[in-house]
């Protein structure tokens, strides 16, 4: 068989910083001018500004004509590797998948982009219907009852859940007593970080020898102080906690709420749901499982579903339908609401894309997506474990759902190269991977999630890249040591990012500290 | 599940022969064999009861566009709505750039493969810092409300204090988010404002400033549109009490209005939606936080800060500055977090600011002020309608008091709607002290003819 | 400074314990002491260090133009250094037929005095202990693992990795330095089948952790940040008027440091209302201080095997523990230190089997500000 390895080279424009492209007097776009009549009546307007508040200097923005603006940013986009351009399976936990192009057509329609949030509900029936129908879809997907589309991302979904937990216990007068939230070591780090930011103590359960949350430790941790449990399942290792029902039942016995982080639900659609596992709440990242593009890191949505009993604590407003008239409206009248977590009502274009994605697949299609994601993952795992130096976390528990956290520990021991080195080198093949959250409990980790969007050929190509890099680690260390070779840039000196005397977070700060190419002033 | 015939366009390996071959190579007969970790009691009984899908793209298009067609846009009608979300012109070049799939579909690659995203957002930070006349700006947060909340939490960590004083004339939607976000780590007190001028009541502020106050927060313009010109005094009072000054500012005003850094703000924050991002029914929001390049401040940012660094090939390189700081927590008993926020909107704002340039931002401020002065004048001339209180100078929004017409805002807005106009935001619930008032907004897209038409229709409705 | 040499060159001190590891092959548990060494030699043990050193120095060849080596005579360093073609300066130490701990210590002393940038040593726990006793945490140090006993986390994972890391550090790359424990076991007891490790000191060791750029949520924390969070958490729980017995280790030291209290790194200190009552207290004195119901014990995980009692803190006697009570024992550990222990247990070995049994079960370990992690305790 011929090699799938491509002689890739990333675009390298050596693109200047935008300020270096500035030419005095150039304009990129013109702004309307006030009508003559207005000018006659109110004058230049500027003299009406209270004297101390008038900015007399011009802000130091670049001056560029439109073609140069377009070219500059096109160059930058070409120096970026989107999911559309690569076999994006190396970013495990993030569910990189195809974002159907028809959904972009919808999201860019002026029928959604040009809506103001305070328009009368009669003029936004379309988007309210999308929100309402999306809630109906997610009732089936999660088994839960009520919805908020407000959270602006996965971490924000956790914020909403923590706020709900507080509102619930406060309403019962138990807020002071219940000040602990239990999570697991391999739940997403946000499940520990957000409760802390919201004033809770966090108790972390370690994995047992099979990588599952230690049930005995859990029993020991639960008490009348427990406000809630925040679990990811399958965890970031890809291992499904099959005893989850025991965990949620025990929590309920102690009066705690059960919160499910389903930021990544890509292996479970139509197979296992929050309801059957005993959870009271769950959130879903519409930019992961439900295909909305990631946009370099947002805008996004962490759609929240809750059990009926928690509906009154949802962030305001919620979307309702007047059964008599069939019209949709926003209901702000939730006296027990946990408040608001985001400006206005959420990220409408992201919800719209998710709605369209679900409606294009239906129940069978969603289940097929998950089943193929599971198949792709296990197919990849079987072959990946044959790559020299690679091993799986928790080998005593070989079952994995939609992703796997692997380890290059053996590679590191035998060659001195670890996951960071592989990560640098993989940029030379037109793809990438993400190491894993720290601390690295699994030594030299990396997490692969080949979602349903990737063909067998894609997966085989990625595997071949991994094989080649492993081989180089053993046989051609110099290649690895100096990688990347074919990237946009060469090795970045991190000291300039960590040392307060050297760092520059803006061009202006750079210009104060340096002249030319990092020559200190 | 029985093997299906259907091949899904988004799921290449749903093709039966490929599926079979992969199952074989994986060493199983069915996907179910790979799901044995999920016990029967957790398995969903039966199928999800979802509507019949629109499998063909043509059918899906018809379905979704059918629903969307029930929306009426701000372009189709004449809109005077603002209140935190603004219908500014979006340069076509912005949509062109952020629609490029390399940006649209990327996520969290390393600087080696996602160099472009790092540079674009570094440039965003750089231009925002110039607009705000500060040295540091972050990668966008979820929205201005979160930027405000985080600024207050930063102030709390820096001062070691736990109370925020918030201007009573701040955006009420934002206030609700701030309250949720600060609870229970910080407490909140509201500062009074003067009904006549629309500006902050400094006496009330003085009486509330104490040694437990971490920050004094106000907005410029205020929610009601007024330019707060007592910033220097407020900042001095805060400083003397050991508190920081946090100012939420509309960046579209900064071509002509002084940035908060020049009247003593320690932290400036705001929403970038006015800078080239479609309203998206309120989804086009993204927050910014700007400060001096003082280590004390930089280390308290929970958000990502992209910095510039040399490379071994003498290119411009980029990466996360002071990565550790995201978990630094010297005084506060709680930490904040980073996640997926609104990066693409940051790139949009970068393209916008580069296109507008210094003169564009100045021109924008000028035309908005001229037209809103005109609108305020001519609307105020309608019998029974007043635009003179609060009296302070306003930037692009102002209060239209309809109390003396004897009609409710809701009622008038309904009539305006029937004539193709979205009237101003009804203030009667959030600010009952203003009676039947509405907040009208004038952007550069509103022409003199639009204003005259509003006046004419309002006159018709009210007479 | 020797004249004529470019000051640009960084200086690496190299100390090789040529007999380290010889005992292992012949079933002896270490070669501390001349008698044991002679026995090892008579049993046909072969030197292990030179090969290990050779492997490590391989990685330094790349920066041969930027560094020079300051080392001891013959097989205490010069032989391998010169063989690797590295610019070498030799101290007059280790010329005799048998080298000893004294030579190692003398070399470390001279190297510190001459201002070396780092000491790279080949040996085991005993060698590390000798060096820690002389230079402490004043000079960055790193071990090439070549002894039988490698309990101290001051060694590279293997010789090549030790060389890589030393090379990285010497080339001026930004490498974090961490205080790491030097443990050693009682060889005599070990040879009789009992493992009894003690804490002997600390070395300043370059960290292998590298911060990866571009992660998407949260980031790696340096050990310093982790320690600070733990210290804040523990201090926030302290009750006015109560006595706190603070065990040895860097984690507990961070608590004392943050309070601005005087402390000993290796001993048990007593503190009340943020004031140190005594440092490095003997067990009997501790027992006198302890008052039931008002005394707390702050412990950290000592060494790589997860001991919280019975290694390095034998001053905390069973009697003291009984007075304090199980519910007043606070255990702390950085996620970095604990990461190898997940899925395993923490251990107690107080010398009192009944007490050990009582201490078994689950304990909450303070792992950060507002954060605890559950661990099983076994004996």
- Taking CB atoms and an 8 Å cutoff, what residues of chain A touch C366? none
d(CA B367, CA B376): 14
Whether C5 shows a pLDDT value over 60: the answer reads no
Q: What is the mean pLDDT of chain A?
A: 96
CA dist C258 and C269 (Å) reads 15
Question: Which B positions 116-135 lie with beta carbon below 8 A of chain A?
Answer: 116-117, 119-123, 125-127, 129-131, 133, 135
Closest residue in C to B117 (Cα) is C214
B 205-264 residues with CB < 8 A to C: none
pLDDT at C221 over 60: no
- Chain A residue with minimum CA distance to B363: A31
- State what percent of residues in chain C have pLDDT above 90: 48
Q: Measuring CA to CA, which residue among C342, C220, B337 is closest to residue A420?
A: C220
Q: Which residues of C touch A477 (CB under 8 A)?
A: none
C305: contact with B, CB 8 A cutoff: no
Confidence of residue C29 (pLDDT cuts 50, 70, 90): low
Exposed, middle or buried by CB within 10 Å (0-12, 13-18, 19+), for A269? Answer: buried
User: What is the CATH number assigned to the segment(s) A362-481?
Assistant: 3.90.1150.10
B311 touches chain C (CB under 8 A): no
Question: Structural domain boundaries of chain A?
Answer: 18-80, 125-359, 362-481, 491-521
pLDDT band at C211 (very low <50, low <70, confident <90, very high): very low
Q: Is B13 on the interface with A (CB under 8 A)?
A: yes
Question: What pLDDT score was predicted for residue B254?
Answer: 98
Give the closest of B105, B280, B366 to A45, CB-based.
B366
pLDDT tens digits along B324-350: 655 433 334 445 777 789 999 999 999
Question: What is the rounded CA–CA span in Å between residue B299 and residue B125?
Answer: 17
For residue C216, list chain B residues with Cβ-Cβ distance below 8 A.
107-108, 338-340
Do the Cβ atoms of A220 and C210 come within 8 Å? no
CB proximity C174 to B under 8 Å: no
Q: Which residues contact B201 (CB under 8 A, 6 or more apart)?
A: B168, B191, B192, B193, B194
Indicate which of B184, B317, B320 best probes the interface with C, i.e. most C CBs within 10 Å of its own CB: B320
Reply yes or no on whether the pLDDT at B69 is more than 80.
yes
User: Chain C closest CA to A360's CA: distance in Å?
Assistant: 30
Question: Does an H or E element contain B237, and which?
Answer: helix B231-240
Length of chain A: 521
Q: Tell me the average pLDDT across A326-331.
A: 98
Closest CA–CA distance from residue A201 to any residue of chain C (Å): 5
pLDDT above 70 (res C24): no
Q: What is the mean predicted confidence (pLDDT) over A233-238?
A: 94
Residue B423's pLDDT is 98
Q: What is the DSSP pairing of strand B287-291 with strand A281-285? A: unpaired
Task: Assess A474–C contact: CB distance below 8 Å, yes or no.
Answer: no
> What's the rounded Cα separation, in Å, for the pair A494 and B322?
10
The lowest-confidence range among B59-68, C63-72, C301-310 is C301-310
Q: What is the pLDDT of residue A301?
A: 98
**Partner residue opposite A199 with nearest CB, options B28, B122, B184:** B184
- Read off the pLDDT band of B225 (50, 70, 90): very high
Mutate to test the interface with B, among A53, A142, A435 (most CBs of B within 10 A): A53
C221, two tokens: 């924390």
Q: Which of B111, B334, B339 sits opposite C213 (nearest CB)?
A: B111
Helix H, strand E, coil C: the string for chain C is: CCCCCCCCCEEEEEEECCCCCHHHHCCCCCCCCHHHHHHHHHCCCCCCHHHHHHHHHHCCHHHCCCEEEEEECHHHEHHHHHHCCCCEEEECCCCCCCCCHHHHHHHHHHHHHCCCCEEEEEECHHHHHHHHHHHCCCCEEEEEECCCCCCCCCECCCHHHHHHHHHHHHCCCCCCEEEEEEEEECHHHHHCCCCCEEEEEEEEEECCCCCCCCCCCCCCCCHHHHHHHHHHHHHHHCCCCCEEEECCCHHHHHHHHHHCCCCCCCCCEEEECCEEEECCCCHHHHHHHCCCCCEEEEEECECCCCEEECCCCCCCCHHHHHHHCHHHEEEECCHHHHHHHCCCEEEECCCCHHHHHHHCEEEEEEEECCEEEEEEEEC
**Measured between beta carbons, which residues in chain C are less than 8 angstroms from residue B110?**
212-214
Per-residue model confidence as pLDDT tens digits over C270-283: 999 999 999 999 88
CB-based contact, B324 to chain C, within 8 Å: yes
Q: What pLDDT score does C217 carry?
A: 30
Place of tokens 């809103």: B372
Query: Under CATH, what is the fold of the domain A125-359?
Result: 3.40.640
Q: Rounded distance, CA B319 to CA B137, Å? A: 15
pLDDT attached to residue B338? 73
B323 interfaces chain C, CB cutoff of 8 Å = yes
pTM of the model: 0.91
- Chain A residue with CA closest to B317: the answer is A492
On whether the CB atoms of residues B43 and A271 are closer than 8 A, the answer is: yes
Q: State how far residue B208 is from chain A, nearest Cα, in angstroms.
A: 25
Look at residue B450 in the predicted model and tell me its pLDDT.
Answer: 98
Q: Chain B window 94-153: which residues touch C at a Cβ cutoff of 8 Å?
A: 107-111, 114
Kindly report, residue by residue over B395-426, the tens digit of the pLDDT.
999 999 999 999 999 999 999 999 999 999 99
Residue of A17, A61, A283 to mutate, testing the B interface (most B Cβ within 10 Å of its Cβ) = A61
Does C176 contact chain B (CB < 8 Å)?
no
B5 pLDDT exceeds 90? no
Q: What is the pLDDT of residue C277?
A: 95
Residue matched to tokens 């369209």: A356
- The band of B285, judged by pLDDT with boundaries at 50, 70 and 90, is very high
Adjacent-strand bridge partners of A305 = A147, A282
pLDDT beyond 60 at C6 = no
Mean pLDDT lowest for which of A335-339, A503-507, C245-249, C314-318?
A: C314-318
B98 CB contacts (<8 Å, ≥6 apart)? Answer: A295, B104, B344, B347, B348, B351
Say whether pLDDT at C92 is over 70: yes
Condensed to tens digits (0 to 9), the pLDDT of residues A108-137 reads 999 999 999 999 999 999 999 999 999 999
The yes-or-no verdict on residue A462 having pLDDT over 50 is: yes
Is B148's Cβ below 8 Å from some Cβ in A? Answer: no
Chain B nearest-CA distance from A403, in A, is: 12
Percentage, residues of chain B above pLDDT 90? 90
**Residue range C37-62: mean pLDDT, rounded:** 80
CB distance B50–A15 less than 8 Å? no
Higher-scoring residue by pLDDT: B3, A457: A457
Q: Does B337 touch chain C (CB under 8 A)?
A: yes
Give chain B's domains with CATH numbers: 78-87+358-462 (3.90.1150.10), 92-352 (3.40.640.10)
Task: Check whether C219 has a pLDDT greater than 60.
Answer: no
Considering only alpha carbons, which residue of chain C is nearest residue A219? C362
**Does A217 sit within 8 Å of C361, measured CB to CB?**
no
What DSSP character marks residue B184?
A: T
Pairing of strands C275-278, C269-272: antiparallel
List pLDDT tens digits, range A27-45. Answer: 999 999 999 999 999 999 9
Contact (CB<8Å) A188/C217? yes
Q: What is the ipTM of this complex?
A: 0.97
Give the model's confidence band at C265: pLDDT under 50 very low, under 70 low, under 90 confident, else very high.
confident
Size of interface A-C (CB pairs under 8 A): 100
- Measure CA of the first residue to CA of the last residue in chain C; give whole Å: 54
Gap from A108 CA to chain C (nearest CA, Å): 26
Contacts of A140 in chain B (CB under 8 A): 48-50
């Amino acid at each position: 068989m011929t090699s799938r390895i491509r002689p890739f080279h990333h675009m390298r424009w050596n693109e200047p910083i935008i300020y270096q492209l500035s030419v005095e007097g150039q304009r990129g776009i013109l702004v309307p001018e006030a009508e003559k009549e207005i000018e006659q009546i109110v004058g230049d307007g500027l003299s009406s500004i209270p004297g101390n508040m008038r900015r007399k200097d011009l802000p130091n923005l670049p001056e560029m004509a439109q073609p140069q603006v377009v070219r500059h940013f096109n160059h930058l986009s070409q120096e970026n590797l989107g999911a559309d351009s690569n076999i994006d399976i190396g970013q495990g936990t993030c569910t990189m998948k195809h974002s159907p192009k028809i959904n972009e057509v919808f999201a860019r329609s002026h029928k959604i982009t040009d809506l103001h949030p305070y328009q009368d509900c009669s003029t936004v029936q379309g988007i309210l219907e999308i929100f309402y129908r999306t809630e109906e879809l997610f009732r089936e997907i999660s088994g839960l009852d009520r919805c908020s589309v407000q959270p602006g991302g996965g971490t924000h979904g956790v914020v909403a859940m923590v706020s709900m937990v507080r509102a619930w216990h406060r309403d019962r007068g138990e807020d002071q007593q219940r000040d602990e939230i239990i999570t697991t070591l391999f739940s997403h780090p946000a499940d520990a970080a957000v409760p802390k930011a919201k004033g809770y103590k966090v108790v972390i359960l370690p994995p047992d020898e099979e990588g599952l949350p230690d049930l005995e430790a859990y029993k020991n941790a639960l008490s009348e102080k427990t406000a809630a449990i925040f679990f990811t399942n399958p965890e970031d290792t890809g291992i499904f906690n099959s005893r989850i029902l025991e965990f949620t039942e025990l929590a309920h016995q102690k009066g705690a709420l059960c919160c499910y982080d389903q930021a990544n639900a890509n292996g479970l659609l139509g197979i296992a749901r929050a309801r059957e596992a005993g959870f009271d709440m769950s959130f879903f990242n519409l930019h992961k499982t439900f295909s909305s593009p990631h946009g370099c890191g947002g805008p996004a949505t962490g759609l929240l579903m809750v059990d009926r009993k928690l509906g009154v604590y949802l962030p305001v407003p919620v979307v309702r339908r007047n059964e008599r008239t069939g019209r949709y409206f926003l209901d702000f009248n939730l006296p027990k609401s946990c408040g608001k977590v985001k400006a206005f009502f959420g990220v409408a274009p992201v919800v719209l894309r998710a709605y369209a994605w679900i409606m294009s697949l239906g129940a069978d299609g969603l289940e097929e997506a998950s089943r193929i994601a599971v198949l792709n993952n296990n197919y990849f795992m079987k072959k990946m474990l044959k790559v020299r130096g690679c091993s799986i976390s928790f080998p005593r528990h070989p079952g994995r759902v939609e992703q796997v956290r692997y380890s290059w520990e053996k590679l590191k021991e035998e060659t001195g190269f670890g996951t960071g080195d592989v990560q640098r080198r993989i940029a030379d093949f037109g793809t990438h991977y993400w190491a894993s959250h720290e601390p690295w409990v699994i030594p030299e980790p990396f997490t692969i999630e080949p979602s349903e969007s990737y063909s067998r050929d894609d997966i085989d190509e990625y595997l071949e890249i991994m094989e080649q890099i492993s081989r180089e680690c053993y046989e051609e260390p110099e290649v690895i040591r100096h990688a990347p070779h074919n990237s946009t840039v060469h090795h970045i000196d991190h000291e300039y990012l960590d040392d307060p005397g050297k760092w520059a977070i803006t061009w202006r700060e750079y210009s104060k500290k340096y002249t030319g190419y990092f020559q200190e002033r | 599940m029985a093997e299906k015939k259907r091949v899904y366009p988004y799921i290449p390996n749903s093709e039966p022969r490929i599926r079979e071959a992969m199952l074989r190579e994986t060493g199983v007969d069915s996907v179910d064999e790979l799901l044995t970790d999920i016990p029967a009691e957790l398995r969903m009984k039966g199928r999800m009861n979802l509507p019949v899908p629109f499998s063909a793209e043509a059918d899906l298009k018809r379905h979704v566009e059918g629903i969307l067609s029930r929306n009426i846009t701000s372009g189709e009608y004449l809109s005077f709505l603002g209140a935190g979300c603004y219908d500014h012109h979006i340069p076509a070049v912005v949509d062109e750039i952020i629609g490029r799939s390399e940006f649209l579909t990327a996520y969290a690659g390393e600087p080696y493969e996602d160099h472009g995203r790092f540079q674009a957002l570094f440039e965003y930070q750089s231009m925002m810092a110039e607009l705000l006349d500060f040295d540091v700006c972050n990668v966008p947060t979820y929205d201005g409300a979160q930027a405000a909340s985080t600024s207050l939490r930063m102030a709390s960590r820096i001062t070691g204090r736990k109370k925020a004083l918030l201007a009573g004339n701040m955006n009420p939607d934002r206030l609700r988010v701030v309250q949720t976000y600060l609870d229970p780590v910080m407490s909140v007190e509201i500062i009074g404002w003067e009904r006549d001028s629309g500006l902050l009541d400094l006496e009330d502020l003085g009486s509330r400033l104490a040694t437990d106050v971490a920050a004094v927060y106000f907005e410029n313009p205020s929610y009601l549109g007024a330019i707060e010109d007592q910033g220097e005094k407020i900042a001095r009072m805060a400083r003397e009490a050991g508190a920081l000054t946090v100012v939420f500012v509309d960046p579209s005003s900064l071509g002509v209005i002084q940035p908060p850094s020049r009247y003593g703000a320690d932290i400036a924050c705001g929403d970038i939606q006015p800078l080239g991002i479609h309203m998206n029914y309120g989804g086009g929001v993204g927050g910014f936080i700007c400060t001096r390049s003082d280590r004390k401040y930089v280390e308290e940012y929970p958000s990502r800060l992209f910095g510039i660094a040399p490379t071994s090939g003498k290119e411009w390189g980029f990466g996360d500055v002071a990565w550790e700081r995201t978990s630094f927590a010297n005084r506060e008993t709680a930490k904040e977090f980073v996640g997926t926020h609104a990066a693409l909107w940051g790139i949009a704002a970068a393209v916008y600011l580069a296109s507008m340039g210094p003169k564009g931002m100045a021109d924008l401020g000028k035309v908005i002020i001229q037209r809103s002065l005109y609108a305020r004048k001519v609307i105020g001339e309608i019998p029974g309608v007043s635009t003179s209180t609060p009296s302070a100078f306003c930037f692009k929004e102002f209060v239209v008091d309809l109390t003396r017409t004897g009609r409710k805002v809701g009622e008038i807005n309904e009539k305006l709607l029937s004539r193709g106009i979205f009237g101003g935001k009804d203030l009667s619930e959030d600010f009952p002290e203003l009676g039947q008032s509405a907040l009208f907004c004038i952007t550069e897209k509103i022409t003199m003819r639009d204003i005259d038409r509003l006046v004419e229709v309002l006159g018709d409705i009210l007479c | 400074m020797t004249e004529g040499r470019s000051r640009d060159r960084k200086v690496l001190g190299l100390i090789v314990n040529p007999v380290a590891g010889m005992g292992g092959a012949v079933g002896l548990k270490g070669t501390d002491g001349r008698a044991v060494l002679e026995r090892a030699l008579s049993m046909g043990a072969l030197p292990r260090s030179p090969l290990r050193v050779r492997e490590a120095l391989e990685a330094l060849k790349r920066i041969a133009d930027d560094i020079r080596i300051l080392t001891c005579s013959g097989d205490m360093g010069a032989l391998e250094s010169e063989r690797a073609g590295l610019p070498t300066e030799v101290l007059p130490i280790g010329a005799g037929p048998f080298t000893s701990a004294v030579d190692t210590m003398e070399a470390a002393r001279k190297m510190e005095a001459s201002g070396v940038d780092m000491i790279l040593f080949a040996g085991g726990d005993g060698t590390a202990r000798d060096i820690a006793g002389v230079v402490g945490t004043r000079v960055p140090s790193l071990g090439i693992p070549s002894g039988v006993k490698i309990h101290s986390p001051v060694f590279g994972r293997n010789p090549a990795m030790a060389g890589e890391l030393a090379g990285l550090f010497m080339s001026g790359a930004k490498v974090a330095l961490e205080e790491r424990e030097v443990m050693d076991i009682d060889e005599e007891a070990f040879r009789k089948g009992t493992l009894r490790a003690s804490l002997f000191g600390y070395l300043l060791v370059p960290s292998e952790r590298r911060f990866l750029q571009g992660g998407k949520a949260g980031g790696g924390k340096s050990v310093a940040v982790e320690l600070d969070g733990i210290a804040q958490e523990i201090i926030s729980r302290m009750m006015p008027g109560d006595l706190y017995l603070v065990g040895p280790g860097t984690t507990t030291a961070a608590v004392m440091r943050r309070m601005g209290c005087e402390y000993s790194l290796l001993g048990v200190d007593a503190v009340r209302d943020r004031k140190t009552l005594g440092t490095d207290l003997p067990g009997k004195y501790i027992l006198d201080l302890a008052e039931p119901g008002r005394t707390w014990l702050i412990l950290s995980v000592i060494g790589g095997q997860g001991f919280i009692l019975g290694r390095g803190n034998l001053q905390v006697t069973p009697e003291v523990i009984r007075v304090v009570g199980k519910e007043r024992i606070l255990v702390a550990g950085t996620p970095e230190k604990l990461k190898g222990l997940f899925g395993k247990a923490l251990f107690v070995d107080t010398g009192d089997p009944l007490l050990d049994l009582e201490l078994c079960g689950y304990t909450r370990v303070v792992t950060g500000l507002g954060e605890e992690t559950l661990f099983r305790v076994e004996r």
